[in-house]
Amino acid sequence: MHDAAPTNASRLPLWGIALALAAYVAAAAVGLPQHGRDLLVRSQAAHQGEHTGDRAAAPHGDHAATEGHAVAAPPLATVLPFAILLAAIAILPLTPGLSHWWEHNSSKLLVAGLLAAVTLGYYLLGHRHPIDLHFPAHAVVQPAAAGASWSTVGAVIVNAILSEYVPFITLLFALYVITGGVRIEGDLEATPTTNAAFLAVGAVLASFIGTTGAAMLLVRPLLETNRERRHVAHTLVFFIFIVCNCGGLLLPIGDPPLFLGYLQGVDFLWTMSLWNEWLFTNGSLLAIYWLWDTLIAHPRETRADVVRDRLLTRSLRFGGLWPNLPLMAGVIAAVAFLDPSKPVPGTSWHPWIYLREAVLLGLVGLSLLLGSHEVRRKNAFTYGAILEVAALFIGIFICMQPALALLHVHGGSLGLSSPQSYFWATGSLSSVLDNAPTYLVFFEAAGIDPTDGLTGEEARLLAAISLGAVFLGAMTYIGNGPNFMVKAIAEQAGVKMPSFFGYVMYSMGVLLPVFAVMAWLFV
């Protein structure tokens, strides 16, 4: 039941969702999503035929398209736009005269767009080698014989936007909006134990509703609980460490890299075997946080703030659970069951391309239509944080294509052999690249075949890759999508968060020692 009239802030996204769904229905009417699904299924059959040595299982055309054409990586210099974009994210917020300009999402989009255009310009005029196309099925795209190579640019855009960015931002958008309609209201006394309890609950929830879902659900009540305190930034940093990253290890829906592994054939419950690593890492971080807050941060609060925090406590109350709790279950089900590369359980039917994203947008629309507008008002809900992520990551996804291509071509020759080497290599790149494709590249480089039961050394390698992708995504603000969203929400609430480099100082001082001990004990 509505307790307030729909606001302009909710009408605009609703119109956008309606137009997107109408466009999808129109595309389905002419068979485009179905055709994309069929291409993917045929490509999988061809790959399976090659894998088992049964050449007859794959259509001749699929082999002919890839035979005799070597996919070459771009030169190392093409990573420069990506490096400049990372530098801009790190430096511009600290630059006098530019920091205020950088606060606007339009400015972020301008910088990201210009650097993405430089990357695309290289592929248009400079790259004269075939490249892999990943969507909707694998193919090799040939460059133009002379002049501008629009086919190459199109393949890069398809890989970056249609294959990676659209599913990424749609899922984040759905989790952000739906959890934004749930309010955990109250103001507990912000003691070290209370804050550690928030982090511990988030660590558990992250594996079951995803790191983004858990982060968006808990960050606002955590901020309200700490409203009377002045020293709060470290609490949000540990929140990013635990809830946005390390907590999401136990199930494929917890973090995007693990979901890719599930799509490659890893058993849904296999990641539960990593519970020792999950418990050690999150337990260690919780202990470090509690000691930090008890011995350093909380004693620095003024007596007046501590007394006010104690007097203004209110018990927790939950609002907006209907309809958002079942809608959140719908998001999890859509992600788990509507992947076009796998048949819906119990059937032989593969979902159409982008059906999952269409369902997610529909669930967002229901949340905005049926949910309480008053809850969103009390949450101070805006679209600023998700727009910031959308603006920056569209540039990140395009600019990192040369880096991913280099990694894909040369990943097998990096000299990696032990689980430890795979852990640190996967983790290092997951800190600055999207951890999902990084996971997949090392998954392939290690020659992992989930169909053989994942035992022995193969299981150790997969564990190392999984741990590196999930845990070390916490090392920077861009390592995982929720990291930037929590930073943006905290800053909107008045918390002065560390700069890009300041955050890295936290992660180098806290996370690296924990990860080193964890790797020594378990990897």
Residue 206 inside a domain? The answer is yes
Overall average pLDDT of the 87-100 stretch = 87
Neighbouring CB atoms inside 10 A of 488's CB total 20
> Which pLDDT score is estimated for 67?
42
- For the chain, the residue count is 523
- Distance from C-alpha of 318 to C-alpha of 376, rounded to nearest angstrom: 13
C-alpha torsion angle, residues 411, 413, 417, 422 (rounded to 10): -20
* Count of structural domains within the chain: 1
Locate tokens 């209907």: which residue? 322
What type of residue is 499?
S
Q: What percent of the chain has pLDDT over 70?
A: 93
The two structure tokens encoding residue 300: 């620095």
Mean local confidence (pLDDT), 175-196: 91
What per-residue confidence (pLDDT) applies to 187?
Answer: 83
Range of the structural domain that residue 446 is part of = 69-320+372-522
- Structural domain contains residue 339: no
Q: Is the pLDDT of residue 264 over 90?
A: no
Residue 343, in any domain of the structure: no
319: phi then psi, degrees, rounded to nearest 5 = -130, 155
**Helix or strand or coil: residue 144?**
coil
Residue 346 in domain: no
Query: For residue 294, with 0-12 CB atoms within 10 Å meaning exposed, 13-18 middle and 19 or more buried, which class applies?
Result: middle
Q: C-alpha distances in angstroms, 453 versus 195, 262, 270, 273, 380? A: 41, 13, 10, 13, 48
- In angstroms, the CA 318 to CA 299 distance is 31
Map residue 475 onto helix, strand or coil: coil
Question: What pLDDT sits at residue 416?
Answer: 86
- Six-digit token string for 384: 């600023």
Interacting residues of 63 by C-beta distance below 8 A, sequence separation 6+: 46, 50, 55
Confidence of residue 471 (pLDDT cuts 50, 70, 90): very high
51 has a pLDDT exceeding 70:
no
Residue with tokens 């759905």: 174
The verdict on residue 408 lying in a domain is yes
Residue type, 243: V
Report if residue 359 sits inside a domain. Answer: no
- Give the H/E segment covering residue 462: helix 456-471
pTM (2 d.p.):
0.84
Q: Is the pLDDT of residue 62 over 60?
A: no
Whether the pLDDT of residue 52 is over 80: the answer is: no
The answer as to whether 260 is a domain residue is yes
Residue 32's CB is within 10 A of a number of other CB atoms, namely: 16
Residue 21 lies in a domain: no
Q: Tell me how crowded residue 260 is: count the other CB atoms within 10 A of its CB.
A: 18
Strand-pairing partners, residue 131, are 141
In tens, the pLDDT along 354-376 reads 999 999 999 999 999 999 999 99
Other residues' Cβ atoms within 10 Å of the Cβ of residue 495: 18
| pLDDT tens per residue across span 227-240 | 999 999 999 999 99
Residue 114's contacts (CB-CB under 8 Å, 6 or more residues apart) are: none
